Structure 1
Amino acid sequence: MIVEICSVVIAACALFVSVFTAYIQKKHDRISIMPICFIVEKCHEGNLAVLIRNLGLGAMTIDKALMTRGEEVHGNLIEMMPKVKQKWEGFSLEIEGRTILPTQEIVLIAINPRSESIRQAVKDALTGVEVSISFHDVYGKEYHKEKRLGGWGIFEKDFGYVAK
């Protein structure tokens, strides 16, 4: 009788451990392929760029992308830029519905200004723009990321290192 009770208790404990382990494994699997959205402002050697980069291990699909400055709202960044007399290095018109794989990126805008006036005009147009990205992972879990552009001041100084 005691042996039978012990075997039932041990079987119940084993079942509990199995169910709990499956729950933890499922949670781990979801977290391990979670996308991490990073909105990047680049200002290096005169080049200016704004990118959406996926630093996570899972794909991210963009559901909604909004660029706002005051009352002005657009679905991309290039429509907010001034007219310049040179070609853009890259830009994206359609952002919503695109999937960014791990370590990949979407170029919102990129330019290598030929003059300081073009560089300043683009920087002025970007300053204060709020980039808002809503996206989901492969499991359908939704995320949101926002960033206000314009942290250019920290990039203007010489870091004391020059490549040779």
Structure 2
Amino acid sequence: MAVKGGLMTIANEENEERFGYVFAVSGPVVTAEKMSGSAMYELVRVGYNELVGEIIRLEGDMATIQVYEETSGVTVGDPVLRTGKPLSVELGPGILGSIFDGIQRPLKDINELTQSIYIPKGVNVPCLAREIDWEFNPLNVKAGSHITGG
């Protein structure tokens, strides 16, 4: 399975079971067929530009998808890749001080990548910088201490 920026990509995906196909397009809402096995709120990549979308309704093998990018150019028969993951955001050091669009894509990084003030369709960049080492100094914790998740 090919991964681009942490997500599977349509171009290199070999498992046809992970694909559905566009049945209808109406503005930002896409209906896809052959989507049995999908889950509500699952993240999907729509069309050859791999637009970010989320399943908002399931009925039989049909899925209604809310696409969070411009859908012009998406046509009947285009592939829809199921990721098997929910649409989610990433939390961690570096999130403060960054500016994101509505699906947590960092605007500064997109601008540096594309040299444009516009966000191109299907652009996929990591939400948080992976190359920065963040300093962490825990307080009141020593080796052998019992800790739990918050």
Q: Shared topology, TM-score over 0.5?
A: no
| TM-score grouping bracket, smaller chain normalisation | under 0.3
Greater percentage in helix: 1
Instruction: Tell me the TM-score normalized by structure 2.
Output: 0.22
Q: Which has the larger radius of gyration?
A: 1
